[in-house]
Amino acid sequence: MERKEYDVIIVGTGAAGLFTAISFPVNYKILMITKDTIENSDSYLAQGGISTLLRADDYNAYYEDTMKAGHFENRPESVEKMIRSSNGIIQQLIKVGVDFDKNEAGQLDYTREGGHSTYRILHHQDVTGKEIVSKLLTKVRTCKNITILENTTMVDIVAKDNECQGIVMKDFNGISACYGKSIILATGGIGGVFKNSTNFPHISGDSFAIALRHKIKLENIDYIQIHPTVLYSKKKGRRFLISESVRGEGAVLLNEDKNRFVDELQPRDVVTEAISKEMKKYNTDHVYLCLKNISKKEILSHFPNIYKRCLEEGYDATKDLIPVTPAQHYLMGGIKVNTIGETSMSHLFAVGETACNGVHGANRLASNSLLESLVFGQNTAQNICKNQVDTKIVVSEVQIKDYNDIEKWQQENVKILLNEIKRRDVKFYDKWCNA
C-alpha cells in the first residue's frame, strides 16, 4: 500500500487547528483530521467572544487582568505575546470575513466579561465561535494543499527515540498510519471525560493520554476550569453555557432568598466558589441568574442563542430567573510547550487548548482562549516553516496488530488520563464535574 506522507499533519479542526493550517504557505502538503464532523469542535460553541487589546494604552490593564485571573502563575512571555499579537489576529479574522457586531455608530461593539477591567471583547451575537470557525473553514476549503478527513481519530503517534514521525488513526476502514515532517496536536481539552461539562463528549483529552504513554511532558494537567454558570438541567448530556458576557452586560446572580451574594464580574474561579458556598448553605443544586438589568432589545439582539435555549427549557430570559450551576469548562494545563508550540518530543507540536504555554496561569481569563489558540497556532506554523526546511520524513513502520483491540486501547487511554488527573488534588473535581 502507498505510504501516506505529508509536510504537516494537524490533529483537530477547531479554531487552533484551522488557523494553524492557513498560516502555512500553500506549497505545504497538509493533512487535517477530526474525530467527528468538522463543525463539532468546542471552538464552534464559543459564545461570548474574543478578547483584544483595545488601544495601545490598554496593554498594562489587559496584562494585569490576565495575570490576576491566573493567580500570577502565568508565563509572562506568553501573556505578552498573546496581547501584543491580538490586534493583528483580529484584522486577519476580519479579512477572512468574520463579522464582529458593530454599535449604532457602525464601530466595533466591545462587550465585557468577568475579570476584565474594561469592555474589550469582540463578538458576533452570542455565537462568536460559530462565526469564526465557519469563516476559517471557508478559507481552508479553498486551500488545495489541505486535505481534511472527518470521523477519523488519532489513536496514537508514531514515535521513535523521542522523535515524532506520524500518527496512527482509526476511521470506518480500520486502523492505518500516516507520516509527517511535523505533527501538530490541536485536539482541544478534556471535557469529554466529565459528566458535567460544556464541552463536546468526543473531546476527551486523547492527546494527553498519548503523551503520558510516550513520556511527553505535561504541565498543570490538574488546572481545570469550572465555569460558574451553565443552564441547570436534570437532563443528561452536554451542559449549555450561559456566557459570562450576560453578566458583563448587567445580569446578576441571586441565591435561594433572591439576594445577591458576589460581584458577578470577578474571575471564574472566584464566582464558582461563591456559588458553591450558596448552594451548600441552602442545600440546593443551583442559584439564579437574573437578566432584568438588560433591556429586552439587548437580550434578543446580543443573546438570541441563549434566549432561545432557555425558552426551550421553559424559561423566558426577559422575565424569568434562570437556574444556573457550575460545570467543567476548560483546561488551563496540557502538553507543555514554549511560545512556538514545541513539545518535549522533536517534530511534535501542540496548539490551542491541548497546549500549555502558561498563558492562562491557574485560571483562564474569559475570552482569552480563542485568541490564544489563534496567536500561538500561527506562531507555531511560522516557526515550523523557518525550521523545517531540511527535515526528511523518517519512518518507523507501525505494527497495526498492536492496535487490534482498539476499544480496549481507547478505554485505557481514558483511564490513564483520569488516573493522572486524580493523582493530583483537583479542586471541585467530584463535586461539580462528575455529580
Ligand X SMILES: Cc1cc2nc3c(=O)[nH]c(=O)nc-3n(C[C@H](O)[C@H](O)[C@H](O)COP(=O)(O)OP(=O)(O)OC[C@H]3O[C@@H](n4cnc5c(N)ncnc54)[C@H](O)[C@@H]3O)c2cc1C
Binding site for ligand X (CB under 6 A): 11-17, 33-36, 41-43, 45-50, 128-129, 153-154, 186-188, 198-199, 202-203, 206, 241, 330, 352-354, 367-370, 373
Least Å distance, CB 143 to ligand X, is: 17
Query: Whole-angstrom Cα distance, residue 8 to residue 413?
Result: 25
Least Å distance, CB 257 to ligand X, is: 30
| Of 291 and 359, CB closest to ligand X | 359
| Of 43 and 74, CB closest to ligand X | 43
Query: Whole-angstrom Cα distance, residue 38 to residue 146?
Result: 14
Least Å distance, CB 27 to ligand X, is: 24
Least Å distance, CB 138 to ligand X, is: 16
Least Å distance, CB 128 to ligand X, is: 5
The HSE-up count of residue 311 (CA atoms within 13 Å, CB side) is 9
Q: Dihedrals φ, ψ of 229, to 5°?
A: -130, 95
Query: Whole-angstrom Cα distance, residue 239 to residue 235?
Result: 9
Q: Is the dihedral of CA 44, 85, 140, 349 positive or negative?
A: negative
Q: Which of 55, 77, 79 is nearest to 65 (CA)?
A: 79
Query: Whole-angstrom Cα distance, residue 342 to residue 173?
Result: 32
Rounded (5°) CA angle 110-80-352: 75
Residue 57 neighbours by CB under 8 Å, 6+ apart: none
Grid cell listed for 145: 494543499
| Of 33 and 324, CB closest to ligand X | 33
Least Å distance, CB 170 to ligand X, is: 9
Q: Which residues are 8's β-sheet partners?
A: 30, 182
Q: How many helices and strands (H and E) does the chain possess?
A: 12, 17
Residue 154: enclosing H or E segment and its boundaries?
A: strand 153-160
| Of 42 and 278, CB closest to ligand X | 42
Q: Is the dihedral of CA 91, 92, 95, 96 positive or negative?
A: negative
Catalytic residue positions? 268
| Of 16 and 398, CB closest to ligand X | 16
| Of 165 and 367, CB closest to ligand X | 367
| Of 62 and 278, CB closest to ligand X | 62
Query: Whole-angstrom Cα distance, residue 164 to residue 70?
Result: 32
| Of 255 and 379, CB closest to ligand X | 379
- Tell me if 74 sits within 8 A of 360, measured CB to CB: yes
Query: Whole-angstrom Cα distance, residue 358 to residue 338?
Result: 9
CB atoms within 10 A of CB 344: 15
Least Å distance, CB 296 to ligand X, is: 23
Least Å distance, CB 390 to ligand X, is: 29
Taking the CA atoms of the chain, what radius of gyration do you get in angstroms?
A: 21
Query: Whole-angstrom Cα distance, residue 100 to residue 49?
Result: 9
Q: Is 36 exposed, middle or buried (0-12, 13-18, 19+ CB in 10 A)?
A: middle
